């Protein structure tokens, strides 16, 4: 599936909308993500922080894990909304790469202004992939 302008805008709007539900009392850095599956479904996720910091989860992984829980395994695009269009962390980049280096990633700020668009491959050159586990 090609990411149409209409779908891209829908993802951005969903990421901005869900961002309001983020639980970020420590960083005050709310993140919303909207993931488009190959089947056309959209899964949303937010960051959820925890006083024990390592137990927090990012919006991107939250959306991906929800999609996987629903039986989805093929993803076309993800929009991520933050205050300033910040990029996904290393853990999120690695999780995205598990499902495809050609997933389109759209980063927007809190006003919905696109800051960057590229692919997981652009974000994580040299990704550790399932094939790296082969003998």
Q: What amino acid positions are annotated as catalytic residues? A: 60
Return d(Cα 103, Cα 113) in angstroms, integer. Answer: 20
Among the listed residues 71, 66, 73, the one whose alpha carbon sits nearest the alpha carbon of residue 33? 66
User: Residue 108 corresponds to which tokens in the numbers above?
Assistant: 């927007």
Q: Which residues of 113-127 are buried (b: 16+ CB within 10 A; e: fewer)?
A: eeeeeeebbebbeee
Query: Nearest CA to 115 among 105, 123, 124?
Result: 105
H or E element that contains 115: strand 114-119
- Cβ-based burial of 65 (10 A; exposed 0-12, middle 13-18, buried ≥19): middle
């Amino acid at each position: 599936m090609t990411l149409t302008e209409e779908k891209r805008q829908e993802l951005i709007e969903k990421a901005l909308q869900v961002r309001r539900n983020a639980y970020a009392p420590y960083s005050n850095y709310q993140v919303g993500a909207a993931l488009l599956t190959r089947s056309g479904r959209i899964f949303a996720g937010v960051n959820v922080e925890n006083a024990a910091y390592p137990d927090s989860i990012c919006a991107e992984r939250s959306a991906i894990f929800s999609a996987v829980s629903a039986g989805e395994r093929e993803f076309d695009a993800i929009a991520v909304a933050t205050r300033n269009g910040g990029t996904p962390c290393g853990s999120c980049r690695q999780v995205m790469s598990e499902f495809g280096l050609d997933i389109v990633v759209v980063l927007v700020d809190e006003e919905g202004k696109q800051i960057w668009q590229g692919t997981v491959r652009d974000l994580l050159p040299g990704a550790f992939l399932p094939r790296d586990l082969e003998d």
